[in-house]
Amino acid sequence: MKHININTSFTVFASAEELPLEIQSLMKEAVAIRKKAYAPYSHFRVGAAILLDNGKIVLGSNQENAAYPSGLCAERVAIFQSGAIYPDAKIVKMAISAASDTNETKSPIPPCGACRQSISEYEFKQDQSIEIYFMGETGEVYKSDSIKNLLPLSFDKNFL
């Protein structure tokens, strides 16, 4: 038997104002689209803004549905939209902001498991890491240089 350790690493910014200007702008887009989320059931709103290598920004917000789990998370809305509209572009950076209608979210809220898998698929497809910045409504912002920090043992087409 052997034992393995898997280490992850994040950069922590005290607030969105500490981010580089380009990322501040991207996070502002994520916050703005978050406010347009359709979340009548969970009352939990998420916005995602993706920067592509062609300079385009693609947005997504969570879209809920009474027939759970038919809705989609903001991250997957943005990722799938970027893949549909700009199939040859690479995702360079992603900013995510989440907030609850019922209480203040002060800690960074990472993507769910399904979104992590979708981000992983695009990293694998483009053979290039995606910088991921995520935060709650206020407070610290976490930066991951790759989805591998959030999903270190990912599943990809090589297993099929």
Q: What is the pLDDT of residues 124-137, one digit of tens each?
A: 999 999 999 999 99
Which regions in the chain score pLDDT beneath 70? Answer: none
The CA-based angle 18-20-26, given to 5 degrees, is 105
pLDDT of 85: 98
Whether pTM exceeds 0.85: yes
Residue 121: active-site member: no
The active-site residue out of 75, 104, 121, 140 is 75
Sheet containing 44-52, strands listed edge to edge, beginning at the edge strand earlier in sequence: 11-13, 141-144, 131-135, 91-100, 44-52, 57-61
Residue 150 in contact with residue 116, Cβ under 8 Å? yes
pLDDT of 65: 94
Domains, the chain, in order of start with CATH, read: 11-159 (3.40.140.10)
Per-residue model confidence as pLDDT tens digits over 3-27: 999 999 999 999 999 999 999 999 9
